[in-house]
Structure 1
Amino acid sequence: MKKRPWKTSITAIMLGAMIVQGGTAAWAAEPPAAVVAAPSVNYGLTNDIRAAVKSVSETPTATGSQVAVTVRLYNGGTTLNRVPEHEFRVQTASGISYTLKPSASNKASLQPKEIAELVYFAAIDSKEIGKIEGISFVNVDLYTYPKVETTLLSMPTNQVWYGGIGSAALESITNVQWGGAFIIPGVNSGLTYAPVEASIQNTQTGRVAVVTVLVNNSGAGRETVPAFRIDAQSETKNYEGKRTETAPVVVSPGENTLIHYAIPVENGVTLANLVVLSTETFVPKEGGQPTELATAKVGINWPVDGSPAAAAYSIGQPIPFNAAAKSISKFMQASLMELHLHENPGEGYKTAVAKFKLTNTSTTPVVTPPFLSELTNKQGVTYQGTRQTNVTNLMNPGLSYVVSYSYIIPQSEDSESFTLKILDGQTAAPYTQTIAALTTEPQKETTDAPISMYPFDLKINDISTSMQTTAQLTYTYKLRMDLSITQQEDVVVDNNFSKLRFEIVDPAGRVVGAKDATFAGPNKLVSGVQTMDVSNFSSEQFSYPFTINVYETIETPNGTAKRLLKTIK
């Protein structure tokens, strides 16, 4: 039987859209056009069943080659139709034909309007197969002598994946630049994809390249993200990736979502490309373990900098989060209210402190987002933030809460601006993804201005130290303070909020007295004059005059982080 191209008609066009992917889907406010490969041609296998090539691969193995083909069938009839009995063969440029085995999962019949995929595979102990030019369904009548073979359908193969490493190996597939939108040729889906972030992350098991992909559904119905994987390649080696989402990812019409791929790599490797591969499973009829078959569809250059672009940011403005991020409620408004960088006398390092105001704009309680944060200087050096230890779990509507992060930074750091990244550490755990990136400058302190400890403004009008001795020759220090404290409205402050620490330091640099004070609770600091007892120390530690260091302290899982607010002599 000769090959029968599908007739050009309105019906054929509609059915063709169902069986073979095509079209462009938007994934951003002003998306680039998706790179689309030439659509596969549909052919008639029977009067009602149409066939199209999904994928063809010929990849080298240790002893030869493995050949795999996936064909998509569509029953355009109104009744159940059986797939005709057949052998499945591939034809090479040299005229040799190879018979492939069908997967045990291949369907023998199709319901009306049903789409099914048939998988065929063969491991051949030869490295001289050559180029594949066509495939065919052949009916073999074994009950005649000599046997009679009838070709039911022959189809050309326009795109074959031959494996390999490097740019030359990717010439036979669709290639896109980093950040460009694409569809996956041959995959029955209207979803559009775009890589939005790539980073090398260190884990307890080694280095991993983590790639975040934005998925957009511009169609009219819900779609499940099909099975595919993303590998990374250096100039000499391939590294296999795996999607971190184990449950099916369903995308509603008009929705964007993010999926993630983790690719274990070696230390010091320089990556050159990413490769998107469609995956199928071949199940041997004679038993044995299923085999995953992967066919490269799209090549993407590995970016020089895979981080999302950082937006210029002014302190106090709402933070623009990635709209596709699921870890931040749409009713959650977040603003960076403070970013201070300070010396730590006697500690040998600097401390940066960032304070975020989180506001619940809904009418019901919402979960406090457990995001992570990083500071990166212009040279690309990154400092991981540590979140305060205790944070309220639920945020009530109409109120704001303050969450603080501290960063330990070397004394040599002199950058005047940083990129602040807010990271989701749960969706693709144990890996992170950037959900907001901001460029901002640490705030500079003014000598006469009130000290900002959002939501408080603190002014130390006067402070002095007095000392008393006991019969046991110990000394009790007292601080007399005149403070002015103002607080922003509708911002919740509880025992989780940072504290003030007063340290009395003698001329030798020894701390001879220390006391923490809170902004919440029965003994909280208030405006006006107040006296505070400080710790007792033995007589041999006494010396004069004293210096008073005033710190803001934040309790973190790594210990107490201190921000020097003022030094009074």
Structure 2
Amino acid sequence: MIINRLREAVSSRIVRITAILFTALCIAFTTWTSGISFAGKEGVFINSSVYFTLENVALSTGSSNQTMQFQLQLNNDGDSIIDYNYYGVKVTSTSGGSYYAQLSKQADAQVPGHSAISYYYVSTIPGGLDASQLQVTVFERNGNGSSVRDVGSLSVANAQSIGQTNHQLLVNLADVDTAVATNSFVSYQAVKAVTLPQDGKWTILVDAMVTPMGTETITLPSGIKYLLHDGQGRTLSLSSNAVQGTSINAGQSKHILLSTTMDTLPSTDAMTLDLSLDSAGISSLGKLSLAPLFQLAKMGERVPYVLNGREGITLELQKAEQQQISNKNGAIFTAVLHNDGKSTIKAPSLQGVLISKEATLSVNAAAVVVPETYLAPGESGAYRFVAQLPDGTAAEKLQFLISEAASDTSSATAKTNSSASTGSTSTAGSNSNTSASNTTSNGSSNSTEGASSIGSIPILAATLQEGLTAGSNMNNIPQYELGQPIVFDSSSELIDSNLQVSLVELNGHSDSESGYQTVIAKFKLLNNSNETLQIPSFGTSLTDITGTTYPGARQTTALQELIPNAAYVYSYSFMLPPSAKGQFKLSLTDASNASNIKVPIADYKVSVANTGEEDPQAVTKKLSLYPFNVTMDYWTINAQYSSGSYTYSLKGNFDIKKSEQVIVDDTFSTLEFEVVDATNRILGSTTHKLQGTGKLISGLQTITFTDVKSEQLEYPVSIRVYEVITTSTGTAKRLLATLTQ
């Protein structure tokens, strides 16, 4: 649609307001500059060759008003130079309001033919207006500048691009320091606010990002006072710490940490941040509502993470699990950093804090697992934090705070008691060749002593309202099937990706005399690569439904490396009470971190099979001790007396098979045969290997028990067959079968 307006009769120019399509422009203006496209834009026309367009608009909301930044482009398709000093703009509303607009960046007022120049403006407008109610109105000055006349208006809603930023203020440094004679705008955006209990008091911490809006480097002004209004009539002064330095380049953003301390837990519902020229807030530059910034994230919720100005980075607290840490009640927190941006990022150094508001207590959480140094687009990296749980606190009332550790360099940290930026600027109304300028020089820094004691930037504060996942909670972990490859946490580098680990046996039995239950877990490691791999030393534990955890003792093994395309088996033994039955959570752990804390890298729900409880008089006995299967299809027990001693013997037909080509060395478990009488008294025992010198082989074999400790021939007697493994804490025996004749 093309809208033509005729000026007053005394004017020789024609002004038109139009929304034109790209194809119409190509037909009407055959000499148009080739690099510019204006399909669907609105335009305020001065003549057939000169017109204004609204390119970019950004609305920044404070607590009572908002700031509008916009880019007005003067397009000159004619042959003559156009002087922008004869024109100006203001922001108007559909209800009749008019708001002053200031130039915020340097630009040349003289626009040559067949070119376009953009002019950047800032305007403060009421907070209740949205884009559909706002317009940018172009006006023309007469020759002596004594009067102006509106030429036409451009709809903000129809701008080339429009963005909305909450909790942001634009401050003109000329309003802060009288030495600054021209417009030099700085954006203050409140990003995150947290309450942190420390030493029986409460610290209010606000993270603010500061961004120059011009093209020059600025120094953070010392004339701004940061005030906190608590909504209950009190005003507190906030100390400021520029953790990344007071000098900020154009296009760069840096953080300021604002903090104050209160004696009691504050209410955050009506808190506001006030940027003021005085300590009472009388000469306020603007206010920002902080209440929404105290909002806590939920478990699994992704929170935007502004990392070095890059977009598409999010952080989530993925899991919080209660664990026994060094025999104390603790918890492991898993946070995941997602890079959904377009470029590779360096993983930041993160810190964790567990907060108990009930106990007015903060507990540091050690980062025991960190991701790779760099994360490519589409990649994620896991952080794992470990903290001791405060005694007597309700887990569902805890919070977890993750902060970025700010790097400390010689000039990177300073209190913001520095001099304001200085410079000179010309206004848009001057008849010079420059509409605006931002020539800025850095002032000297008055950093306070002790400035190197820096804080950390809060990124994510999450509630644990749903509670910590108990170690016994098996609802959210997968059921394991023997032989399937175990999937390890991607944050751990303990297990080589070419090494396949699987659980092949999980059996146990209870010994009525010893009063405990022995469980043996047997793992197979398969090297799927063409290189020799180091055999990892991972930890194991079993957790029953009551939350009690039982650590596993690893089999002593001599083999340290595994050759390509080969498998190896070793076992872990667990000592449990006989009452521990049903399903368990099997955890594989990694203690290779700097704190030597056992961090779970795989959790599965498992069931323990009871062995050795088959019919003791059955003719056929099957003994499974992976990778061996031993079958006895005939057996008999005999006793003899000779030269004052008793001898028992077991004669049986053994069929011994190795189910797979698995490497077995001399440290592999052995078979122990034990003779017991009717009262379960042990009369004698003997052991036999399945590997190495003197191993038990297939065929008819006789196993003899000598030095039997008995004054008479016992009858009946039974023979118990055990699998025996040697661990770092001693030997562990698992009952395989009982033979009673």
Taking the aligned partners of 1:466 and 1:432, their CA distance within structure 2 comes to 52
What TM-score results when the alignment is normalised by the length of structure 2? 0.60
Q: Which SS does the other structure have where 2:67 is aligned?
A: coil
1:259 is the counterpart of 2:379: no
1:363 corresponds to which of 530, 546, 550: 530
Taking the aligned partners of 1:305 and 1:127, their CA distance within structure 2 comes to 27
Residue pairs, 1:123-138, within 5 angstroms: 132-136=271-275, 138=277
Give the equivalent residue in structure 2 for 1:501.
672
Taking the aligned partners of 2:633 and 2:353, their CA distance within structure 1 comes to 61
Taking the aligned partners of 1:129 and 1:482, their CA distance within structure 2 comes to 81
The structure-2 alpha-carbon separation of the partners of 1:85 and 1:287, relative to structure 1 and needing over 3 Å to count, comes to closer
Amino acid at match of 1:134: L
Give the equivalent residue in structure 2 for 1:430.
597
Amino acid at match of 2:628: F
Residue 139 of structure 1 and its aligned partner are, at CA, apart by 9.1
1:272 corresponds to which of 396, 402, 405: 396
Give the equivalent residue in structure 2 for 1:457.
629
Q: Percent of pairs identical after alignment?
A: 23
Higher mean displacement: 420-429 or 498-507: 420-429
Residue 521 of structure 1 and its aligned partner are, at CA, apart by 1.0
What TM-score results when the alignment is normalised by the length of structure 1? 0.76
2:226 corresponds to which of 89, 93, 99: 89
Give the equivalent residue in structure 2 for 1:299.
463
Taking the aligned partners of 2:264 and 2:682, their CA distance within structure 1 comes to 79
The structure-2 alpha-carbon separation of the partners of 1:290 and 1:412, relative to structure 1 and needing over 3 Å to count, comes to same
Determine if contact 2:197/2:360 at 8 Å carries over to the other structure.
no
2:246 corresponds to which of 95, 108, 116: 108
Taking the aligned partners of 2:699 and 2:264, their CA distance within structure 1 comes to 90
- Any idea what the Cα deviations from partners look like across 1:502-554, whole Å, max 9, x if unmatched? 11223443322211111211211211123445452466376444321111111
Determine if contact 1:338/1:356 at 8 Å carries over to the other structure.
yes
The structure-2 alpha-carbon separation of the partners of 1:395 and 1:464, relative to structure 1 and needing over 3 Å to count, comes to same
Give the equivalent residue in structure 2 for 1:164.
none
Give the equivalent residue in structure 1 for 2:289.
157
Taking the aligned partners of 1:65 and 1:310, their CA distance within structure 2 comes to 38
Amino acid at match of 1:400: A
Taking the aligned partners of 2:200 and 2:462, their CA distance within structure 1 comes to 27
- Any idea what the Cα deviations from partners look like across 1:489-514, whole Å, max 9, x if unmatched? 32111122111001122344332221
Q: Which SS does the other structure have where 2:631 is aligned?
A: strand
Residue pairs, 1:217-296, within 5 angstroms: 217-220=339-342, 221-225=344-348, 227-233=350-356, 235=358, 237-245=360-368, 250=373, 252-253=375-376, 254-267=378-391, 269-277=393-401, 279=403, 285-287=448-450, 290=453, 292=455
Residue 304 of structure 1 and its aligned partner are, at CA, apart by 6.0
Amino acid at match of 1:114: Q
Residue pairs, 1:18-417, within 5 angstroms: 40-41=167-168, 43=170, 47=184, 49-56=186-193, 68-75=205-212, 79-92=216-229, 93=231, 98-103=236-241, 107-122=245-260, 132-136=271-275, 138=277, 153-159=285-291, 172-176=294-298, 178=299, 180-183=300-303, 190-204=313-327, 206-220=328-342, 221-225=344-348, 227-233=350-356, 235=358, 237-245=360-368, 250=373, 252-253=375-376, 254-267=378-391, 269-277=393-401, 279=403, 285-287=448-450, 290=453, 292=455, 297-303=461-467, 305-306=469-470, 309-344=476-511, 346-378=513-545, 380-390=547-557, 392-415=559-582, 417=583
Q: Which SS does the other structure have where 1:272 is aligned?
A: helix
Taking the aligned partners of 1:128 and 1:298, their CA distance within structure 2 comes to 18
Residue 265 of structure 1 and its aligned partner are, at CA, apart by 2.6
Determine if contact 2:325/2:597 at 8 Å carries over to the other structure.
no
The structure-2 alpha-carbon separation of the partners of 1:258 and 1:227, relative to structure 1 and needing over 3 Å to count, comes to closer
Residue 185 of structure 1 and its aligned partner are, at CA, apart by 6.9
- Any idea what the Cα deviations from partners look like across 1:168-187, whole Å, max 9, x if unmatched? xxxx41342x4x22216777
Taking the aligned partners of 1:378 and 1:245, their CA distance within structure 2 comes to 27
Residue 85 of structure 1 and its aligned partner are, at CA, apart by 3.8
Residue 405 of structure 1 and its aligned partner are, at CA, apart by 2.1
Taking the aligned partners of 2:731 and 2:265, their CA distance within structure 1 comes to 64
Give the equivalent residue in structure 1 for 2:586.
420
Number of residues paired by the alignment? 519
Amino acid at match of 1:401: Y
- Any idea what the Cα deviations from partners look like across 1:241-285, whole Å, max 9, x if unmatched? 313338786451233333222332344543123424354789772
Taking the aligned partners of 2:480 and 2:602, their CA distance within structure 1 comes to 15
Q: Which runs of 5+ in 2 are unaligned?
A: 1-61, 73-103, 105-163, 174-183, 407-412, 416-447
Taking the aligned partners of 1:380 and 1:58, their CA distance within structure 2 comes to 32
Determine if contact 2:507/2:520 at 8 Å carries over to the other structure.
yes
Residue pairs, 1:506-545, within 5 angstroms: 506-537=677-708, 540=711, 543-545=714-716
Residue 288 of structure 1 and its aligned partner are, at CA, apart by 8.7
What RMSD, in angstroms, separates the aligned Cα atoms of the two structures? 4.2
Determine if contact 1:90/1:135 at 8 Å carries over to the other structure.
yes
1:562 is the counterpart of 2:728: no
Residue 154 of structure 1 and its aligned partner are, at CA, apart by 3.3
Taking the aligned partners of 1:111 and 1:214, their CA distance within structure 2 comes to 31
Give the equivalent residue in structure 2 for 1:34.
none
Residue 397 of structure 1 and its aligned partner are, at CA, apart by 1.9
Determine if contact 2:518/2:576 at 8 Å carries over to the other structure.
yes
Q: Which SS does the other structure have where 1:103 is aligned?
A: strand
Determine if contact 1:173/1:299 at 8 Å carries over to the other structure.
no
Residue 555 of structure 1 and its aligned partner are, at CA, apart by 1.5
Give the equivalent residue in structure 2 for 1:7.
69
Q: Which SS does the other structure have where 2:513 is aligned?
A: coil
Residue 103 of structure 1 and its aligned partner are, at CA, apart by 3.4
Residue 326 of structure 1 and its aligned partner are, at CA, apart by 3.2
Taking the aligned partners of 1:49 and 1:393, their CA distance within structure 2 comes to 61
Residue 399 of structure 1 and its aligned partner are, at CA, apart by 1.2
Residue 468 of structure 1 and its aligned partner are, at CA, apart by 6.5
- Any idea what the Cα deviations from partners look like across 1:114-172, whole Å, max 9, x if unmatched? 332223445579999996422316499xxxxxxxx987x534133378xxxxxxxxxx4
Determine if contact 1:547/1:568 at 8 Å carries over to the other structure.
yes
Determine if contact 1:465/1:477 at 8 Å carries over to the other structure.
yes
Amino acid at match of 1:154: G
Higher mean displacement: 224-233 or 479-488: 224-233
The structure whose Rg is larger is 2
Q: Which SS does the other structure have where 2:711 is aligned?
A: helix
Determine if contact 2:351/2:367 at 8 Å carries over to the other structure.
no
